[in-house]
Amino acid sequence: MGTAIGELLEKQEIDLDFLASRKVGIDSFNILYQFLSVIRGMDGTPLLDRKGRITSHLTGLFYRTINLLDLDIKPVFVFDGEPPELKSETRLERSKIRTEAKKKFEKARKEGKREEARKYAQQAVRLTDEMVEQAKKLVALMGLPVVQAPSEGEAQIAAMVSQGDLYGCVSQDYDALLFGTKRLLRNITVTGKRKVPGKDYYYEIKPEMIELEKNLKALKIDRKRLVWIGILIGTDFNEKFPKIGPKTALKLVQKHNKFEDIVEEVGHEPEFDYREIEGIFLKPKITKKYKLQFGLPDREKILEFLCEEYDFS
């Protein structure tokens, strides 16, 4: 989910052709969740093989990657490792939400309420270890690099961008900016129109790029203060401060040089150590041991994997 700083940021609409010949880091967990959420039947049921195994993520991964390759975009798939301990509460809370959403989905589907069933199905999405391994295998068979991050995938990509090995981070989450990626590339693996939940209204999804330094200058802050904004409005590692939104948070970090002074002004003493969260973003766990080797796809093994194993056409 990340942190909701989107309304503060300047976004540049781009064509996918703009990324031609560039290597980009794919926040793999993020896009797999997208595919699992979006690629479903009208009643919210995911794609399944004959054994009842979900294949929505493989469908999205395979066909969307082909689209990127057709445009000469070079995707590097980076997978999350062990999450920071502070993320455990967030993951537990999300698990509860998904469990409850699954019950509501099954009830709505039995009652024939397709719109309601689809809504709850998207909330009930789970990415399992088995799905992650399936995705890694498919990516490797397609001749594309797989990088295993020691912790947060976005942090690993940010480091690789800083090293000049990648152009930007492909993710829907703004957390990549807090981790220091120079360029966040959104709506790269999803295109077309998206329905607004609960409303009979669709909006166009277009690729966009958000440049970190350009935005920091426009907001008149540094990256540490951007992290402070995230802490104030909530991240995957902490609850938000009461009654503080992005615009208020921006004013506070522009005004103060110490986070302690912000705490004193708002009159809310958090139950967490902000410095620990600050460290997760500013000094994350990364690895420099990776190889970005691109090869040819193994046609026969891809056919065997997708068609024979998972019932693709």
Interval 277-290 mean pLDDT: 94
- 241, 232 contact by CB (below 8 A): yes
What pLDDT score was predicted for residue 44?
80
Q: Give yes or no for residue 198 having a pLDDT over 60.
A: no
Question: For residue 146, what are the CA distances in angstroms to 1, 32, 77, 109, 177?
Answer: 23, 14, 5, 37, 22
Flag whether 167 is in a domain: yes
DSSP assignments along 179-248, one per residue? TT-SEEEESSS--EEEEPTTSS-EEEE--EEEEHHHHHHHHT--HHHHHHHHHHH-BTTBPPPTT--HHH
Residue 148's CATH number:
3.40.50.1010
pLDDT at 93: 61
In a domain, 235, yes or no: no
| Number of folded domains that form the chain | 1
Identify the domain containing residue 53 by its residue range. Answer: 6-220
Query: Residue 13 has which token pair?
Result: 């609409």
Residue 310 lies in a domain: no
Q: Please compute the mean of the pLDDT values over residues 94-100 and round it to a whole number.
A: 59
Average pLDDT for the chain: 88
**Would you state the pLDDT for residue 298?**
97
Residue with tokens 């709850």: 120
Query: How would DSSP label each residue in 14-34?
Result: --GGGGTT-EEEEEHHHHHHH
Question: What pLDDT digit, counting tens, does each position of 237-270 carry?
Answer: 898 999 999 999 999 999 999 999 999 999 998 8
> Rounded to whole angstroms, how far apart are CA atoms 205 and 196?
12
Specify if 163 maps to a domain: yes
On whether residue 176 sits in a domain, the answer given is: yes
Tell me the C-alpha to C-alpha distance, in Å, between residue 285 and each of 25, 150, 157, 159.
17, 6, 11, 10
In a domain, 14, yes or no: yes
In a domain, 240, yes or no: no
Is pTM beyond 0.85 here?
yes
Contact between residue 235 and residue 2 where contact means Cβ atoms under 8 Å apart: yes
- d(C-alpha 69, C-alpha 310), whole Å: 23
Unique residue bearing structure tokens 């980076």: 78
Instruction: Confirm whether 74 is domain-assigned.
Output: yes
